[in-house]
Amino acid sequence: MRKLDRYVMSSVAGAMLLVMLVVLSLDLIFAFIAELDDAKNDYQTLQALTYVFMTLPRRIYDYLPLGAFMGCLVGLGAMASSSELTVIRAAGVSIRRIVWSAMKPTLLIVLVGLLIGEYVAPPTERMAQSQKAIAQGAGQNIASATGIWHREGDTFIHLNAVQPDGTLHGVSLFRFNDDRWLASATFANQATYQGDHWLLDEVTTTRLTEQGASLETGENERWESGLSPDVLSVLIVKPENLSMSGLFTYATYLDEQGLRAATYWLAFWKKVLMPVGTAVMVLVAISFIFGPLRSVTMGFRVFTGLIVGLLFKYMQDLLGPMSLVFGFDPMLATVVPIAFSGLVGFLLMRKAG
């Protein structure tokens, strides 16, 4: 029986690795082509290639659920097509045991995904985004098209780039008075953290009054802000690419500032429930093999898998923005697609058993 378990595990794990290799190869090629469109200043072909390579951990994390789902569908589907599953069941192996054998590679993928998503992908993503922005001349542009926007009290902040060590490039501060009129606009080429405040370098400030505008320049200027390098390291990347701890920290900070944090809470719950979602999708794949896709061709299985995977993704992509617009709990937007898919998988498995 253990040999049969190992055979099922190796077949499913091999298919998962193959799917991941194919999907990642295509994604890297298209990503590199897309990066070439952003080439300017010091950001050229070699820098674009480095950027794509540094974002590889994030891409692996993004495609792990798809790799687990499609790999299980392909691996068990190949065994069903060659009647190996029929022989295994005839040998006295229950469906439950086959399901558990197929789930073991999934648990390994979930563990790898958690480690990559928490400790590897966020720092490499921050480094990739920072190096790209700096190479494109972030320090010399006032409020460039890319970068980070943030509000703190009556001050709107734009940062062109944030290095992993906390150094800021291209700092723009737009301060408004109580009547919501722009009082001053400050730009600094760079800012460094001094423990309890920031030190702005090469500062230019434009002050607006009823008498007109005045221009002030200086080498350095003290900037008091509640933003710390730890918080800014969260801002530099998209919410879905952050670690769970980073998302929780920044979402809590936004709540304390009275700002909307729903986007970060949504990304947080997606990451927290990713292992459950992956396991549920693998269960759906297994239920298809023992149910409606037992005797179809491999091409049709792959096509069905893509459709189901896209439907699951679109459900999450639809409910997520809806939670932001209508104000219901972001956790609910994440749980509903997982619960629905789990119910479908359970009913199909019950029918097959």
Secondary structure of 252-314 as H, E, C letters: HHHHHCCCCCHHHHHHHHHHHCHHHHHHHHHHHHHHHHHCCCCCCCHHHHHHHHHHHHHHHHH
| pLDDT given at position 187 | 92
Higher pLDDT, 164 or 242: 242
Both tokens of 198, joined, read 């920031």
Q: What is the pTM for the complete model shown? A: 0.78
Most confident region among 196-200, 206-210, 288-292, 317-321 by mean pLDDT? 196-200
- The 3-state DSSP class for residue 351 equals helix
- How high is the pLDDT of residue 19? 92
Band of residue 231 on the pLDDT scale cut at 50, 70, 90: confident
pLDDT of residue 12: 92
pLDDT at 176: 92
Query: Average pLDDT of the chain?
Result: 85
Mean pLDDT over residues 151-172, rounded? 84
Evaluate if residue 252 carries a pLDDT over 80: yes
- Token match 């005045």: residue? 214
In this predicted structure, what is the pLDDT of residue 87? 84
Of the spans 147-156, 249-258, 274-283, which averages the highest pLDDT?
274-283
What CA–CA distance (Å, rounded) separates 180 from 170?
24
List Cβ neighbours of 146 (8 Å cut-off, separation of 6 or more).
133, 136, 138, 160
Number of Cβ atoms within 10 Å of the Cβ of 334: 26
| Low-confidence winner among 219-228, 293-302, 326-335 (lowest mean pLDDT) | 293-302
For 284, other C-beta atoms within 10 Å of its C-beta total 25
Average pLDDT over residues 37-42: 81
Taking alpha carbons only, the member of 102, 27, 15 closest to residue 63 is: 27
Whether the pLDDT of residue 166 is over 80: the answer is no
In whole angstroms, give the CA distance from residue 121 to residue 189.
28
Residue with tokens 């723009």: 172
Domain ranges of the chain: 2-135+262-352, 139-231
pLDDT attached to residue 79:
86
Q: Which residues, 6+ apart, have CB-to-CB distance to 307 below 8 Å?
A: none
Q: Is the pLDDT of residue 120 over 90?
A: yes
Distance between CA atoms of residues 109 and 16, nearest Å: 9
In the chain, pLDDT over 70 holds for what percent of residues? Answer: 92
| pLDDT at 142 > cutoff 60 | no
Q: What percent of the chain has pLDDT over 90?
A: 28
Q: Using CA atoms, how far apart are residues 232 and 159, in angstroms rounded to an integer?
A: 10
Continuous segment of H or E residues that includes residue 36 = helix 2-36
Average pLDDT, stretch 115-130? Answer: 88
Q: Identify whether the C-beta of residue 98 lies closer than 8 Å to the C-beta of residue 80.
A: no
Which pLDDT score is estimated for 180? Answer: 83
pLDDT at 162: 81
pLDDT of 170-200, one tens digit each?
A: 899 999 988 888 999 999 989 999 888 899 9
Q: Bigger pLDDT: 219 or 25?
A: 25
What's the pLDDT band for 73 if we cut at 50, 70, 90? confident
Pick the more confident residue, 36 or 40.
36
CA-based R_g, the chain, Å: 25
The predicted pLDDT at position 290 comes to 77
Give pLDDT, residue 27. 94
Q: What is the pLDDT of residue 253?
A: 79
